[in-house]
Amino acid sequence: MSKLERNWQYAEQYPGETDAIVRARRLSLELGLEPVSRSTAAQLSALTALTRAQAVCEVGTGVGVSGLALLRYAPEATLTSIEIEPEHLREARGVLAEAGVPSSRLRLVEGDARHVMPRLNLGAYDLVLLDADPGQLLEHFEHALGIVRPGGCIVVPGIFAHGRVPDPAARDEAAVACRDLLALVAESPAIAPMLSPTGDGVLTLVRLDG
């Protein structure tokens, strides 16, 4: 194992998690879902606290792992979470309720994010998490850029598509979509991008003023 691999493994194992997140992570795996990694969840928790986010939007609820992470250090924040699978959303409601998150702080929306996001208020969110079908990533990003406020951020976990993005021979839909987004934001004067090797890669994009 190389030094970089040891560093990555240590970082993945380092963060502690609440009992609620541990239970949600276990449920995700039982249902065949892939939740964000421990280090990615920790990064989401820190980002919400760092930006003092009050309004958060999430595309891809799963059963609530990332939602719990986003709200962990933000006791006043509200979460709008969009999920296309009704079974997952039902499980998430139970997970979030069991964790003690008041329903007044939650807006769980069943539906296709491509149809839901255009109905959300422009510039109304401090942080937007995109963790859904990577084949729709560019479309989700376009909508996210409209609903996040100037100075707010868009976070895309799994941007390495299970390690395929750095491999130029990988040309599947997910890898191509992730590469296209990375190329797009790298050249945009309206966005400050940050790429982290956390988990399966986390892309954080700050919408600049103007």
Is residue 106 helix, strand or coil? Answer: strand
* DSSP codes joined into one string, 171-210: -SHHHHHHHHHHHHHHT-TTEEEEEE-STT-EEEEEEPP-
Is residue 93 helix, strand or coil? Answer: helix
- Give per-residue pLDDT as tens, 133-180: 999 999 999 999 999 999 999 999 999 999 999 999 999 999 999 999
- Amino acid letter, 197: P
Does domain 3-207 correspond to CATH entry 3.40.50.150?
Answer: yes
Enter the DSSP assignment of 109.
Answer: E
Enter the DSSP assignment of 102.
Answer: -
- Give per-residue pLDDT as tens, 92-103: 999 999 999 999
Whether residue 210 is predicted with pLDDT greater than 70 in this model: the reply is: no
pTM: 0.95
Sign of dihedral through CA atoms 44, 47, 52, 54? negative
